């Protein structure tokens, strides 16, 4: 399994389509499907996949509804939402600020990257929850901005222009995926200091702890909404790395936005959407 490469992991409980890649010399026999796996296509390519090589992040979901009035209208569907890491990012682990601080000070050789990734995701969410609680959707003066799907960040003193482009979903402020090479703003360093952490705390976790930045607000692209008797189908696309589960919570359970992820529903089982 260590030789198999992918652009991103899928949820355990999901029906999904995904490309995998590995060296042709490692293939010992003809690929065959199983009860839980269907081989759709096999082809040669010049290079391996890496995490982030995502061409589409598109979803087609069907909701069983008793009251169609509960389903959000088109205007609400197209509104940008907070780009939290979804509950499936953390598995069964339960984190607190204290446990994060203690764990970061004691790197674990086994499953190092997996554990670090979960803690970085939790810290991003915790920072974002605190920010929403204090400022809502309002941009901060020292924000680092990016275009949707962009990899470069910029700052601009023209607040009026930034706010207009943000409202249109063209750009978004970014937040920290904490690491020793992350480019931080003053407000983000203040948050880290309040936790009793510093950027160099992450260095002992190795190259995986360099850190990066992540878009804070995502504007979905809606392809269609279709009423089908007792169900509604929703076809939409998100930027790479965003979670459909977070989008759904934002639509149907907005009271949970700003609450700890542990209080969100477990989407590996049927969920009743409150509207």
- DSSP secondary structure letter of residue 258: T
Assess whether 4 and 123 both reside in one domain.
no
Please state, in angstroms and as integers, the Cα–Cα distance from residue 60 to each residue in 6, 16, 51, 63, 174, following that order: 21, 10, 23, 10, 27
Are residues 127 and 226 located together in one domain of the fold?
yes
- Whether 61 is in a domain gets the answer no
Residue 255 lies in a domain: yes
pLDDT in tens, 78-122: 899 999 999 888 877 889 999 999 988 887 666 677 889 999 999
Cα separation values, 13 from 19, 137, 223, 267, Å: 18, 32, 24, 9
Q: Give the C-alpha distances (Å, rounded to integers) separating 47 from 4, 23, 137.
A: 12, 9, 41
Quick one: pLDDT at residue 10? Answer: 60
Here the tokens at position 259 are 């609450």
Q: Specify whether 30 is located in the same domain as 79.
A: no
The answer as to whether 60 is a domain residue is no
- pTM higher than 0.85 for the full model? no
Q: What is the pLDDT of residues 136-180, one digit of tens each?
A: 999 998 999 998 666 788 887 777 788 888 888 889 999 999 999
The helix (run of H) or strand (run of E) holding residue 101 is helix 97-104
**Same domain, yes or no: 147 and 202:** yes
């Amino acid at each position: 399994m260590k030789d198999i490469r992918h652009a991103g992991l899928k949820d355990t409980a999901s029906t999904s389509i995904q490309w995998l890649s590995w060296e042709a010399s490692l293939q010992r026999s003809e690929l065959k499907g199983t009860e839980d796996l269907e081989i759709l296509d096999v082809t040669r390519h010049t290079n391996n996949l890496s995490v982030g090589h995502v061409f589409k992040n598109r979803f087609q979901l069907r909701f069983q509804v008793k009251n169609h009035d509960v389903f959000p209208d088109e205007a609400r569907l197209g509104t940008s939402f907070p780009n939290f890491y979804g509950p499936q990012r953390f598995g069964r682990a339960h984190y607190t600020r204290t446990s994060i601080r203690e764990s970061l000070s004691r790197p674990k050789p086994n499953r190092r990257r997996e554990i670090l990734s979960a803690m970085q995701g939790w810290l991003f969410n915790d920072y974002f929850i605190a920010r929403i609680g204090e400022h809502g959707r309002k941009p901060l003066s020292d924000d680092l901005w990016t275009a949707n799907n962009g990899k470069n960040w910029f700052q601009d003193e023209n607040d009026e222009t930034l706010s207009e482009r943000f409202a249109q979903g063209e750009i978004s402020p970014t937040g920290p995926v904490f690491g020793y090479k992350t480019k931080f703003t003053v407000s983000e360093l203040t948050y880290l200091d309040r936790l009793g952490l510093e950027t160099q705390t992450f260095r002992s976790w190795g190259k995986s702890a360099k850190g990066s930045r992540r878009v804070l607000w995502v504007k979905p692209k809606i392809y269609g909404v279709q009423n089908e008797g007792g169900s509604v189908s929703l076809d939409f696309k998100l930027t790479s790395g965003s979670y459909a589960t977070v989008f759904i919570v934002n639509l149907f359970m907005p009271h949970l936005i700003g609450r700890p992820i542990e209080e969100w529903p477990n989407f590996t089982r049927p969920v009743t959407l409150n509207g």
